[in-house]
Amino acid sequence: MTGSEDGLEDKGETENEGDGANGNEASRSEADRIDVPESHPRYESLLTRHRIEHGVEAGITSKQGLIAQGRGEAFDYLLGEETIPSADAAERAAAAQLLLADHPVLSVNGNVAALVPDELVELAAVVDAALEVNLFNRTDERMEAIADHLRAHGAEDVKGLAADARIPGLEHERGKVDADGIYEADVVLVPLEDGDRAAALGEMDKVEIVIDLNPASRSPRVATIPIVDNVIRAVPTITAHARELADADTDTLERIVDEFDADEALAAAEERIRNGEF
């Protein structure tokens, strides 16, 4: 684990952060403004890169986040840049698990804030979850920048700034969480999480849903529900499943969760990466 996957290392890019409520539309459209037609075969990949680049310029994502993105892209390429069936099953189990939760929290870092802010806010609303900014290398500036960014995209309550509790077993800054957020959560969605912290959250007996394109990374391996998919596809797909399951009874939701097999899902992703067609 390099400790860079949330890509939030340096303070250097924080000065011009903050889309601010009034800058929301302009900022998002700027983040999405690329000189490539939607019909271009690499459109989604190029748009993703542009969002990350814009995230760096806005002080939301760090330069380390660019590296994490590059690594993710390589795995996505090998997966065929699509949601494979085992990932879809994981996304459905994640939706059921979030609907079953008493206190679900969606953890947000610099990469996911840049890539899927609207989609995270929507998922939080559909499953009634809290959003908590949670950075590997925490700085006040970046915490504020990401919280502002989420609010600009419609989030009403953004946790993470109080930092009045600690994840046991992690050193001071990395372990900071909100007492009424991740600390208290029974189910946590952690996209692109650091392996140490994923393990430490697991030690707290939380049900952990991890989104990560690398099935060999430690975080999906310690997750209750590993989702090997691009966060850009995974978050809206979880939301779609959650909408569809909104009226399902507890037995049905529990059955969906029970039938999901994490080891099988990881093996299926590895199989696609090793033997998929180019």
Binding site for ligand ATP (CB under 6 A): 1-2, 4-5, 67-69, 71-72, 75, 115, 192, 195, 211-214, 217-218, 230-232
Beta bridge partners of 209: 189, 225
Cβ nearer to ligand ATP, comparing 20 with 70: 70
* CB count in 10 Å sphere of residue 199: 18
**At its nearest, how many Å lie between ligand ATP and the CB of residue 212?**
5
| Minimum gap (Å) between residue 22 Cβ and ligand ATP | 28
> Nearest CA to 62 among 117, 3, 131, 119?
3
| Between 98 and 112, CB nearer to ligand ATP | 112
Minimal distance, residue 254 CB to ligand ATP, in Å: 27
Nearer residue to ligand ATP within complex by CB, 65 or 160: 65
Burial of 1 (0-12, 13-18, 19+ CB in 10 A): middle
Taking the alpha carbons at both ends of the chain, their separation in whole angstroms is 28
- Strand intervals (E) in the chain: 104-108, 130-133, 158-159, 165-166, 176-177, 187-191, 207-211, 225-227
Residue owning tokens 């969906």: 256
Nearer to ligand ATP, 75 or 253 (CB): 75
Q: How far is CA 160 from CA 50, 140, 163, 178, 185, in A?
A: 26, 10, 6, 5, 13
Query: What is the smallest separation between the CB atom of 277 and ligand ATP, expressed in angstroms?
Result: 21
Could you tell me the smallest distance in angstroms from the CB atom of residue 142 to ligand ATP?
16
Q: How far is the CB of 271 from ligand ATP (least distance, A)?
A: 17
> Which residue's Cβ has the minimum distance to ligand ATP?
72
**Residue with Cβ nearer ligand ATP (201 or 213):** 213
The residue (of 182 and 198) whose beta carbon lies closer to ligand ATP is 198
